[in-house]
Amino acid sequence: MLAPTPGIDADSGPRSEESMLAVSVATFLENRTAVACALLVVAFAALALLAPWIAPHDPHAGDLLRRLQPPAWMADGEWAYPLGCDALGRDILSRLVFGTRVSMFIGVAVVLVATVIGTLLGLASGYLRGALDVAVSRVVDVLLGFPYLIFAIGLMAVMGPGLSNIILVLVIKEWVLPCRVVRAETLAAREMEYVEAARALGDSRGHIMFREILPNILSTVVVVATFRMATIIIVEASLSFLGLGVQPPTPSWGSMIADGRQFLLDAWWVSTLPGVAILVLVLAINLASQGLRDAFDPGLRT
């Protein structure tokens, strides 16, 4: 047989983890759409953090003389209240800015906590197997049997609305996704040679799980998490729309849309504009996540 020669398929890729990360980051940065969207998400986060200083008016203060005032570019609008006012005369722009806090905070908090819990349980059940795996899988099956909103609505109904309740309820439903993904990846990883080698070297199970397997599946976990954030934001908005989310007077985009429903004919902006905010944020998250996924694993790119 011929001596092996690389040919045009020669792949002399980087070997060390650090440089693989560098390659992924570089690939991501080449994707201008993804970078722009990531910056947009950061901008929203900044908006959320700096809301009290950025919002032009107090979101809770309503001036009934300004009830249902149109946005600035329409007749009867004024630039001091650029996006108009709602039924109680409150500045919509300010309420949108403050609403960012709710969406971003819930989005990040739920995904963060759920991912940590899900990853830990997924690693443990995937690697250690046995009774733990069986128990976790049963719980996952049961939780997956509930459609997302049904579960959330059911629980919120009995627990009552409120920020901490929402986060709790959403985390309870959300952790199963990262858990399943991590478990599947762990099951595959534990058959691989690097794990066998670690076992042969006498590494402890904890070491193998956290120092050997986890770094390899981390990119998948991160990509899943970023995508889920988009979904969570929409779920929270849906709950708020139904009145089961954060309660007034805290502004949330979903409840703002609900408030504006009855004025659709005369004051379409009250319901429409918060939806635009949701759309923009979720779109940005989705595109940035896609860019992230493409950067980490170009093989998945279609």
Per CB under 8 A, the list member of 237, 267, 288, 292 interacting with another protein is 237
Under rule CB under 8 A, residue 220 binds another protein: no
Contacts of 265 (CB under 8 A, 6+ apart): none
Under rule CB under 8 A, residue 131 binds another protein: no
Q: What are phi and psi of 194, to 5 degrees?
A: -70, -30
Locus of tokens 């459609």: 147
Site size toward another protein, by CB under 8 A = 52
* Alpha carbon separation from 24 to 27, 89, 177 (Å, rounded): 5, 49, 24
Under rule CB under 8 A, residue 265 binds another protein: yes
The least CB distance from residue 177 to another protein, in Å, is: 10
Under rule CB under 8 A, residue 145 binds another protein: yes
Rounded CA-CA distance 218/277 in Å is 30
Q: Which segment (5-13, 21-29, 37-45, 190-198) binds another protein by CB under 8 A?
A: 5-13
Under rule CB under 8 A, residue 135 binds another protein: no
Under rule CB under 8 A, residue 211 binds another protein: no
Per CB under 8 A, the list member of 9, 11, 18, 193 interacting with another protein is 9
List binders of another protein among 55-84 (CB under 8 A): none
Under rule CB under 8 A, residue 5 binds another protein: yes
Burial class (CB in 10 A: 0-12, 13-18, 19+), 229: buried
Under rule CB under 8 A, residue 11 binds another protein: no
Helices 269-296, 92-128: inter-axial angle, 10-degree rounding = 40
Tell me the HSE value of 180 on the side-chain side, using a 13 A CA sphere: 13
Give the chain's radius of gyration (CA, Å). Answer: 24
Binding residues for another protein (CB under 8 A) = 1-3, 5-10, 138-139, 141-143, 145-151, 153-155, 157-158, 160, 230, 234, 237-238, 241-244, 254, 257, 261, 264-265, 268, 271-272, 274-275, 278-279, 282-283, 286-287, 302
